Structure 1
Amino acid sequence: MAQDPSLPDIPFHAIVEQSLAGIYVLQDECFAYANATWAALVGYTPQEMIGAHLDRFVPPDFLPEVLRRYHLRLDSNPPSLRFITRGLHRDGRTIYIEVHGTRMMFGGRPAVMGVGVDVTQQLRNEQELRTSQQRLRDLAAHTARTLEEQRQSFARDMHDVLGGMLTSIKMDASRVLKRSEGEETRALVQGILGLTQQTIDAVRSMSEALRPSALDHLDLSVAVRRDLQEFSRRHGIAHRVQAREISARLSPRRALAVYRIFSEALTNVARHSQAMLLEVALEPAGDELVLAMHDDGQGFDPATVAGPALGLLGMSERAHEIDGTLRIDAAPGQGTRLELRAPLL
């Protein structure tokens, strides 16, 4: 093919020397060629590198691995390989270089030609990001545990202490009613009795909302069924449920996390779905618990969710805490489907 006369006649050697990527040729475990960019990665000049053995530029503990990969490529097993290697800088620092090496013939003998870029800062940034994400997850888990402990304490105090005090007031009012003779006094005491009973019912309801007693004394499936009945009564959304007893094969910590995810999903359905029917299934599948929820509401486009969607984020983090996976599928006009999978005992 004839060369385009409009293109300048730039020697290939000059292109290689001016490349922003490091380029090298290895032969007999030594550098047969290195451009200025490659040499600068480890703090040397090309002249200092050419003819020098690999052991001068690789940390001693990593040299066997580098030589193994070098000989694999010489043996065409595979002939081309891309990986991140460790280099030894002239000042003693360890650097990380992403290289793509390929078997070739150089001077009539097998060699490895490669291209490399310094990814030390990139890997450091990625590690710092992973560390930060893990710290945030640890903080979220600690916050969730603390909140659960407070909920349990408040629920217990409301049920045992406040509930006990209200019950005593009701019993005393009943005694007063038996001894009252005037109609006005009796009517007043009856009003007190009715208000006291309403307060007892409200305290019981708030205590159950903080921590359902079924989680401690019955089964997760019972709590799910009770909440769905209250959900349908309060919001006018019909439900169908298939829930099998599961708590015997589920640790209390996992049962509580599953229940909190279920509760948050119910809240989302009530607030946003405009659904007529909610279908819920809670059952084991092999070594996993599966919670599936599907509503026939308006759905949504996950890509256009405004704000941080803290409810969805909270459910995802709870699933992560129990080594589970949470999947939410939604589309406008097609409702929303949630599936949680978590290990059983």
Structure 2
Amino acid sequence: MTDFERDTRLPDMPFHTIVEQMVAGIYVIQDDCFVYCNATWAAIVGYTVQEATGMSLAQMVPPDFLEVVRSRIRARLAQQPPSMHFITRGLHRDGSVRLVEVHGTRITYRGRPAVMGVGVDVTDRVRNEEELKRSREQLQALAAYTANKLEEQRLAMARDVHDVLGGMLTSIKMDATRIQRRAENPEMQALTQGLIALTQQTIDTVKQISEALRPSALDHLDLSVALANELRAFTRRSGVPHALDTGATTPRLPPRHTTAVYRIFQEGLTNVSRHSGASHVGVTLRVEDQQLVLELHDDGRGFDTGAPDGSALGLLSMRERAREIGGELRIDSAPGRGTRLRLRAPLL
């Protein structure tokens, strides 16, 4: 029995039995060598206990990481700090690199300072986490790309609908008006009058479609006007009254940021209409510490923000838009307590 075993054994349970049955690797490093390890630790790097015992750090650590490991061992031996918890890199017998989560502590082994550690192979876990992180980054990039392309298509369609289709309808109305002036037959007069009225209704519908695709206020006026127009349309459709407070200062944002804020607001208002059952909606738009702050709150039924539901994709879309412009979106809600959406975004 070694001095280490003698000092750490438990009553009625030999140290060797405890250590060898552990699913974590146990090792002792002294004088730049592994003077002790259990079977689990040896297996992490592809050796037997007999082979691993006595091996140097250089044989178990990749060359480009060796000095990092040695510096950490020196720090623990100097008790600065005496204990460390980190992920290190081990060199497997086959030449591959294994990632090992270790917790090392300064001990006394055979009367001299040493480092005892507990290690777990986390190679697969870390690589899975890295792959998940890459997948999330790719999904975020895809979401941003899709949103930008969708906005470009909306803008193009809005212009085509307004300029091309609207212009054609206006020409039809003008021609119908000239025909009406020249028509002497009362029946022809009535037909052209009906055609003119129908054409005007179609022109109005085209304008509504164009505004729905891309509000002209975003390009020609400012965000507060676009929000006010959207709220008025919301109240006409739903019958739910609203209050809008834009403060004394109208915030100025880059065009892309303005569009993102408007779309977040639009999606939030859509959720109110579809899910809340609210009797009143309030909106505030102001500037705080060089940031735009938009709040949308209702007195509806609310929801559990932690529970997945049909609106989850809408909430995800809003959060992604906020992230894309460097903003932060917070949604506070609870059943029976209404919902408050709060967006903060930089002005520049």
Scaled by the length of structure 1, what TM-score is found? 0.93
Return the match for 1:337 from 337, 340, 343: 340
1:128 aligns with 2:138: no
Partners of 1:305 and 1:27 in 2: CA distance: 53
1:313 aligns with 2:304: no
Return the match for 1:75 from 78, 82, 85: 78
Query: What displacement does 1:341 show?
Result: 1.6
AA partner of residue 223 (structure 1):
A
Query: What displacement does 1:251 show?
Result: 1.6
- 2:226 aligns with 223
* C-alpha contact 2:223 2:258 (8 A) present in aligned 1: yes
Aligned-pair Cα RMSD in Å: 1.8
- 1:56 aligns with 59
* C-alpha contact 2:251 2:292 (8 A) present in aligned 1: no
Q: Name the stretch that deviates more: 176-185 or 121-130.
A: 176-185
Query: What displacement does 1:28 show?
Result: 2.2
Partners of 2:223 and 2:210 in 1: CA distance: 17
Return the match for 2:114 from 111, 115, 124: 111
- 1:22 aligns with 25
Measured at CA, do residues 252 and 326 of structure 1 come closer, stay the same or move farther in structure 2, by a change above 3 Å? same
Partners of 2:177 and 2:79 in 1: CA distance: 94
Partners of 1:72 and 1:286 in 2: CA distance: 44
Question: 1:60-79 deviations in whole A, cap 9, x for unaligned?
Answer: 11112111111111121221
Partners of 1:322 and 1:53 in 2: CA distance: 51
- 2:174 aligns with 171
Question: 1:294-322 deviations in whole A, cap 9, x for unaligned?
Answer: 10111112234434722112112212222
Partners of 1:189 and 1:297 in 2: CA distance: 49
- 1:89 aligns with 92
Query: What displacement does 1:211 show?
Result: 0.4
Partners of 2:204 and 2:148 in 1: CA distance: 28
Question: 1:88-134 deviations in whole A, cap 9, x for unaligned?
Answer: 11111111000011111111222111100100011111111112222
Return the match for 2:46 from 43, 61, 70: 43
Partners of 1:234 and 1:241 in 2: CA distance: 17
Q: Percent identity?
A: 62
- 1:140 aligns with 143
Partners of 2:235 and 2:41 in 1: CA distance: 68
Partners of 1:319 and 1:94 in 2: CA distance: 39
AA partner of residue 251 (structure 1):
P
Q: Give the length in aligned residue pairs.
A: 338
Query: What displacement does 1:246 show?
Result: 4.8
Query: What displacement does 1:184 show?
Result: 2.6
AA partner of residue 337 (structure 2):
Q
Partners of 1:87 and 1:132 in 2: CA distance: 26
Partners of 2:114 and 2:292 in 1: CA distance: 55
Partners of 1:322 and 1:118 in 2: CA distance: 39
Measured at CA, do residues 56 and 287 of structure 1 come closer, stay the same or move farther in structure 2, by a change above 3 Å? farther
Question: 1:44-89 deviations in whole A, cap 9, x for unaligned?
Answer: 2223333332122111111121111111111212211110001111
1:232 aligns with 2:241: no
Task: Please give the residue correspondences for 1:175-194 in structure 2 after superposition, counting only pairs within 5 Å.
Answer: 175-194=178-197
Measured at CA, do residues 308 and 104 of structure 1 come closer, stay the same or move farther in structure 2, by a change above 3 Å? farther
- 2:159 aligns with 156
Partners of 1:105 and 1:230 in 2: CA distance: 77
SS in 2 for 1:181: coil
- 2:201 aligns with 198
Q: Name the stretch that deviates more: 200-209 or 147-156.
A: 147-156
SS in 2 for 1:105: strand
- 1:327 aligns with 330
Scaled by the length of structure 2, what TM-score is found? 0.92
Partners of 1:48 and 1:287 in 2: CA distance: 64
* Gaps in structure 1 of 5+ consecutive residues: 1-6
* C-alpha contact 2:285 2:295 (8 A) present in aligned 1: yes
